[in-house]
Amino acid sequence: MAKPQKRYVCQSCGSVSHRWAGQCADCNEWNTLVEEAGAVVTPFAAKHNLQGGGRALSLVGLDAEVALPERMATGIAELDRALGGGLVEGSATLIGGDPGIGKSTLLLQAAARLALAGRGVAYVSGEEAADQVRLRARRLGLGAAPVRLAAATSVRDILTTLGQGRPPALLVIDSIQTMHSDLIEGAPGTVSQVRASAQELIRFAKERGTALVLVGHVTKDGAIAGPRVLEHMVDTVLSFEGERSHQYRILRAIKNRFGGTDEIGVFSMETGGLSEVANPSALFLTHRDEGVTGATVFPALEGTRPVLVEIQALVVRLASGATPRRAVVGWDSGRLAMILAVLEARCGLSFSSAEVYLNIAGGYRVQDPAADLAVAAALVSALSERPVPADAVAFGEVALSGEVRPVAHGALRLKEAGKLGFERALVPAAMTRDDGGLRLTGFRTLGALVDHMLGRG
Ligand code: TYD
Ligand code: MG
């Protein structure tokens, strides 16, 4: 009989080692190895008494018939959009996000909608008492929805309860970090517990055709806590993002075995809960005045959905030789450094003795590389104190050579801008054919944009 070996499990990536170390050898995180009791590890073949054999599989072609998974629309269009059309029966979805961002609120609203539509829905809260959840439901005007509610943390109790009678169409577990499985030792929230609890719940969901939604906590650097392994186990991973101080929230699919990951759902958090935002551009565009310097509107693309956002830049000249600050909110700081470098090296502008601040209005986070040209225009406008016309949008990717490169979905971006009353667009020279009813000015290089804005040449 093998002597049980000590196991140390990295709480960040889930990798197992038999010796403690200050730094995980796999993910290089510090102080994440925790001793966890677990089953004695026996080689797979010995455990299953396998002697080489195995069963012959029947292999099929890629063109074999497939049944599309049954989808259950929640009735919250923005949630269904992020999910790729609704929840899939017998699937597991993980939703992560900062504390207080609105995960419980969103799921309670979805659960109530489905329950009101006649579906069986169970909502298990391991974080809040049943009364708290009930109070919240009442505040949301959903007190009458026939959701079956429990405050519980034992996976066995939950599955025993739900195993009786008809399984629910939707099971919400809020949150997986509070769940405890008695198949394995350890405190709730440790990697082994999270994994074991999720495994049991997912097995139940697959066997009974229940759509399972797990709420997952997020670590301070934004990853879903307790383990990457959780992300591998589920079919869909959604991330609920936003600034708590701002109203709006974005639901983004990070992984989806049943659909694309390029759609987002946009919500706004109000006193009556989360409400859907069908036209996000209007939300992110702050009130705009003619003649403000350092601001450009950028038609960003989220999946196939255009979202107009305002990019704001401020350039402050320093008298002393102190190292100037660069601060960015809502965009990549490395990318800003690059645009500044191109403006210096290729266009002859100098930012070296100035502080530079860049902000995306409304707390939105831009990930689209097409923002380069709009950022450059905002910077040039801030530096030169010449406004970008208030009826213009800008987009295009900037290369280190200073070239302005075309980007995807120009027509979509222009159409959205036109819808919101914009009349002009600053675009890559290669993209001036598709005008969408706007007056286009094309630029081959960033230098040409600078010349245009400064009235040179
Ligand atoms: P919650 O759903 O509890 O967040 P999470 O589960 O992600 O931690 O959301 C809590 C926040 O939402 C809280 O700060 C209050 C706010 N809120 C509203 O603004 N309006 C509402 O109707 C509700 C229910 C919550
Ligand atoms: Mg919560």
Calpha distance 365→445 (Å, rounded): 26
| Ligand nearest to the CA of residue 239, numbered in listed order | 1
Query: Ligand 1, closest atom to CA 269?
Result: 19
Beta carbon of 141 within 6 Å of any ligand 1 atom: no
DSSP character for 322? P
Pull the structure tokens for residue 36.
Answer: 């966890």
Calpha distance 50→439 (Å, rounded): 72
Calpha distance 9→21 (Å, rounded): 11
Per-residue pLDDT tens digits for 259-302: 877 778 889 999 999 999 887 777 667 566 667 899 999 999 87
Cβ atoms of residues 409 and 321 within 8 Å: no
Q: Determine the pLDDT at residue 378.
A: 97
Residue (of 159, 168, 32) closest to 90 by Cα position: 168
For tokens 């709009």, name the residue.
374
Cβ atoms of residues 252 and 218 within 8 Å: no
Tell me which amino acid residue 116 is. Answer: L
Distance 174 CA to ligand 2 centre (A): 7
Q: How confident is the model at residue 205 (pLDDT cuts 50, 70, 90)?
A: very high
Identify the residue whose C-alpha is closest to ligand 1 atom 1: 102
pTM: 0.75
Beta bridge partners, 353, equal none
Give the total residue count for the chain. Answer: 457
- CA distances (Å), origin 297, targets 250, 275, 310: 20, 25, 4
Beta carbon of 101 within 6 Å of any ligand 1 atom: yes
For tokens 């979202």, name the residue.
307
Calpha distance 253→387 (Å, rounded): 37
Query: Which residues have a Cβ under 8 Å from the Cβ of 108 and sit 6 or more positions away?
Result: 123, 133, 136, 137, 140, 142, 147, 172
Per-residue pLDDT tens digits for 221-233: 555 545 577 888 9
Task: Please confirm whether the linkage preceding 12 is cis (ω < 30° from 0).
Answer: no
Mean pLDDT of 326-354: 94
| Ligand nearest to the CA of residue 269, numbered in listed order | 1
Cβ atoms of residues 236 and 96 within 8 Å: no
Per-residue pLDDT tens digits for 141-181: 999 999 999 999 999 999 999 999 899 999 999 999 999 99
Q: Determine the pLDDT at residue 45.
A: 53
Calpha distance 276→286 (Å, rounded): 19
Tell me which amino acid residue 120 is. Answer: G
For tokens 């959780």, name the residue.
230
Q: How confident is the model at residue 50 (pLDDT cuts 50, 70, 90)?
A: low
> Mean pLDDT of all residues in the chain?
87
Percentage of the residues of the chain whose pLDDT score is greater than 70: 92
Distance 104 CA to ligand 2 centre (A): 4
Instruction: Compute the radius of gyration of the chain from its Cα atoms.
Output: 26
pLDDT at 218 over 80: no
Neighbours of 329 (CB within 10 A): 15
